[in-house]
Structure formats: C-alpha cells, structure tokens
Amino acid sequence: MTTTAPPADVAAGTRMSRREVLQALSGLMVGMFVSILASTVVANALPRIIADLNGSQTVYTWIVTSELLAMTATVPLWGKMADLYSKKLLIQLSLGLFVVGSLIAGFTPNVEVLLLSRVVQGIGAGGMTALATIVMAAMIPPRELGRYAGIFGAVFGVGTIAGPLIGGLLVDTSWLGWRWCFLIGVPFSIISIALLQRTLHLPVVRRKATIDWLGALLITSGVSTLLIWSSLAGNKFDWASGWTALMVAGGLVLLALAVVVESRAAEPIVPLDIFRNRTVSLATIASVLVGVAMFGGTVFLSQYFQISLGKSPTVAGLMSLPMIFGLLVSSTVAGQLITKYGRWKAYLVAGAAVMTAGMLLLGTIDANTSVVVLSIYMAVLGVGVGMLMQNLVLAAQNDVPAQELGAATSVLTFFRSMGGAIGVSALGAVLASRVTSLTTERLGPAATAGGGSTEVPDLSTLPEPVVRILQDVYGIATADLFLVGAPFALLALIVVLFIKEKPLHTVSGDERRAQEEAAAKAAMH
C-alpha cells in the first residue's frame, strides 16, 4: 500500500473557516435529516399503504425492516470507503442512491417494487448516516466538534421522532397521500447534493488500497441473518424453535468467519485492533445498549397514544414533541458547554442517568396517565438521550488515529442501529405476548383465538366495554416495555462510568492525518 501525503502547505491550510464549516454543515444536515426521516415517516402511513397495495401483515413489518436492515448492514462498508476514497464523492453517491430509492417507492405499482425501493433507500441512508459524522470529524477539531455535534444529535433526534408526525399529516391531507411520504425527501436530497458540491472542500488523500469485499459480504450476511431472525421470531415462529437455532447459528458462523477474514486482511472493513482501544470498545457497548433502550421503547409510543389514549395519527405525532424538545435542548446545550470547557465525560454519565430515570418514569404509565405527566416523562427521556448519544461518538473519535476515524465512527453507528433493530424486534415480541396474556385474562381465551391479538385492533368497530379493556391492556403492556428497557439504560450508565476522559484535540481530523503521516514518514528516514 502506498500513501501520497499532502504537501506541508496544503496540510496546514486544510482548516476550514467557521463560515465554510457552517455552509458545508447545512448540506450535511439536510441530507442527514431526510435519511433519518425515511426510516420513520412511514410509521403512521403503513396501514393506508398496505390497504392500497393489497399487502399482508408480513409486508407491513418488512416495509420498515428492509430499509433498517440495508442501512445497518452497509454502514461499516461506507465507513471503510471513507478512509480510502473521496468523502465528498461518497456522501453525494449515498444521497443519489437515496433519491433513486425514494422515486421508485413514490411511484411503486405493488409491494414487491416497494420492498426493493426500501432496500435502495436503506443503502443510501446507511451511507449518509455514517459519512455525515465522519466528514464532520475530518473538518472540525474534537474541541470544536461539541458545538456542531450537538446540532447534529438534535437533527438525528428530530428526524427520528418527527417522522411519524409528518407521515400522519401527509396521509391525512387528501390532496397529498402516502406516496408523498417517500417523495418528500427527493427535493431536499437534491438540494443537499448541490450544497455539498459548492461548500464541502476536503483534501483527497490518494491511497492505493483494496477493499476487503469478502469481509464486507460476510459481515453484511451475518448481521442481516441475525436482524431477519429478530424481526421474525415471536411472529412467524417461536423464539425457542428450530428456525431460531438455525438462523442464530448461521448468523454467528458467518460473523465468526468475518472475524477470521478481517484479522488477515490488509485493509479490513472493521479493523479489529480498533477494539483494543478502551474508549472505542466501551462506547460501542454503550451504543448497543442505548439503541436497545431508546428505539425499543419509544417506537411503540405512537401505538400507545392511538390505542390507549384514543388519539388520531396526527395528534399522536404531535404528542412526541416534548421528547424532541428535550433532546434538542440537551444535545445543543451539552455541545456548547463541551466546546467551551473541553470536558465531556460528565455529560455521558448525566445523560445515561437521566435516560434511565426517563425509562423508569415511563414504566409507570397507563391508559389514565394525563398528557401533562406523560409529556414531562418523555422530556426527561429526550434530555438523557440528547446528552448521551452524540457524545459517545465524540469520545471515540477523539481517541483514535485520524486514519481510523471513518472505521471508529461507522462501528459506533452500526452497533447503535443494530441494537435498535434488535430492541424493536425483541420488545415488539414482548408487547405482543403481554397483550395476548392480558387480553386473555380480561376477556377470556375466545378473545385471542386465531391469533387476532397479534394485529392492532380497530377500536371503532368494538363495543365500549371492550374498548376500555383494550386501552387498559395496551397501557400496561407499553409501560412494561419501558421497565424491560430500563436495565439496558442502567447498564449503559455503568459502561460510560469506565470510559476515561481524555483532553479533546484542537486540530481537525484532516490536520491530524497529515501530522500522523508526516511523523510516520520521518520515522522511516
């Protein structure tokens, strides 16, 4: 492998001005928002989509899962390519893929084409999610990164939680409809590509290297197998079954082979020695736990609003605003304070503690909880997530060599997404099981005969006494989900306590790379 180091004057001049950084970030933030939105905007639109395209309950699940699978599985590959090729070109390519997938989805004639389009969308969104934070680290020093990372964390949170609200509004607006859930991201993605072309100026460090495609294939296949298993188990087959044994064993064997291949590759997709770094290892474990707790719990809140509290899809989306507001404020304020004082561990610990408290508080809700109390509990959870999620990435980026920035960032993003996917699947199975047992207990075995309890009930077709019972059942079952998720948040708190605080670098990732390469060249002579 050969490396062409940039001349000294180029290396010294790679620091972008604050105005240039803000201009480039505008393009990144638009792209990041629409890629996150793609995962969540269909939540309230799915019943209408399935009805219009004559899809089944299985398709209902897969419209969400296929995009999440493609996004999660391709993140490490995008991260590795960012260490080898032009980050600007890659981020524009990922946005281009997202536009193609969105257009196909918006004009889809049937569910099969829709599922294919969601995979294309997912690959593009995976690139955008991984590359946005990598590009930030390349052009902004870690000491300054807190200021901007806080804004990015807020964009991520708003995209995650505002998606269902936007989807509900589009579906409820007669002259728009569900197809705009996919088409709405296209103009924003094109604007993002144009903004990045004009404003993002990063030096391209030419490196002759090959990507470990076999490792990429094994990682993607292994992760996809486990994610497919977690989305089907408890629905299509029992958790303890032959299919579970086969899929889990198959996924683990593929990942074990990936470890062997990666340990021997000259340019591994995920450099295994990165896990020798204590900060990266601990931040990775915490990211998985945050993914399980946050996504696993909050994804079912919209259903709770609509069934237990009897709200419309649009109102259910609006009820998520306290969580968005809490996340927005804490993420931004924590970022500003980190930039000002250069200390970051306290925000990780406080974020994990507040997140755990939020999960426990939401574990007390039921069908009679007032909107005010619910809003306070959700705001507490949002504040905790805002302080924790983005700063885990900052801690890891600050503690790895510049040439591994892409790998470290994508590893954290990848494991957080995987934790979220598994959390949603596993807690979804817990919810279905709890609803079935409680409904049987209150209404008798006939109420759940034929597997009807696995489908969300249409309360408008049921008599008033049954409606009240089902509202109560869903309230109790949703609260139980947060009580199941709370120990994961507590484990994240324990893990971040062991992360060692190190001073934040005052030079950007590209400047650090130039310094490291100059030092390596000097050591060879």
Domain boundaries, the chain: 2-212+272-524
> Distance between CA 433 and CA 352 in Å, rounded?
29
pLDDT at position 449 is 47
> Distance between CA 228 and CA 237 in Å, rounded?
12
Identify the bridge partners of residue 207 per DSSP, sorted by sequence position: 3
Decide if 149 contacts 393 (C-beta within 8 A): yes
Ramachandran sector of residue 444 (left: φ over 0; alpha: ψ -120 to 50; beta: rest) = left
First-last CA distance in the chain: 18
pLDDT at position 347 is 92
Instruction: Of 197, 248, 167, give the one whose Cα is nearest residue 92.
Output: 197
pTM, entire model: 0.76
Strands (E), 185-332: 207-208
Instruction: Of 424, 363, 47, give the one whose Cα is nearest residue 235.
Output: 424
Instruction: Of 146, 133, 141, 139, give the one whose Cα is nearest residue 343.
Output: 146
Tens digit of pLDDT for each residue in 427-463?
777 787 788 888 888 877 655 544 444 455 667 777 8
pLDDT at position 142 is 75
CA distances (Å), 416 to each of 72, 408, 412, 487, in order?
Answer: 9, 13, 6, 17
pLDDT at position 505 is 76
Decide if 127 contacts 192 (C-beta within 8 A): no
What are the helix and strand counts (H, E) for the chain? 20, 2
pLDDT at position 377 is 94
CA dihedral (484, 486, 492, 495) positive or negative: negative
Instruction: Of 251, 300, 307, 288, give the one whose Cα is nearest residue 425.
Output: 300
Instruction: Of 57, 37, 27, give the one whose Cα is nearest residue 180.
Output: 37
Contacts of 393 (CB under 8 A, 6+ apart): 133, 149, 283, 409, 412, 413
CA distances (Å), 176 to each of 50, 54, 132, 180, 184, in order?
Answer: 17, 20, 30, 6, 10
CA distances (Å), 218 to each of 79, 125, 129, 288, in order?
Answer: 16, 21, 21, 20
The CATH code for residues 2-212+272-524 is 1.20.1250.20
CA distances (Å), 28 to each of 197, 261, 453, 500, in order?
Answer: 11, 34, 43, 30
> Distance between CA 510 and CA 135 in Å, rounded?
10
Task: With a cut of 50, list the residues of the chain below it in pLDDT.
Answer: 1-13, 449-454
Contacts of 286 (CB under 8 A, 6+ apart): 348, 352, 388, 392, 492, 495, 496, 499
At which residue do the structure tokens 């924003």 appear?
A: 188
Strands (E), 169-320: 207-208
pLDDT at position 61 is 63
Mutual angle of helices 111-139 and 57-84, in 10-degree steps: 30
CA distances (Å), 153 to each of 5, 335, 387, in order?
Answer: 33, 9, 9
At which residue do the structure tokens 């993605």 appear?
A: 189
pLDDT at position 429 is 72
Instruction: Of 416, 425, 368, give the one whose Cα is nearest residue 391.
Output: 416
Q: Name the DSSP letter for residue 505.
A: P
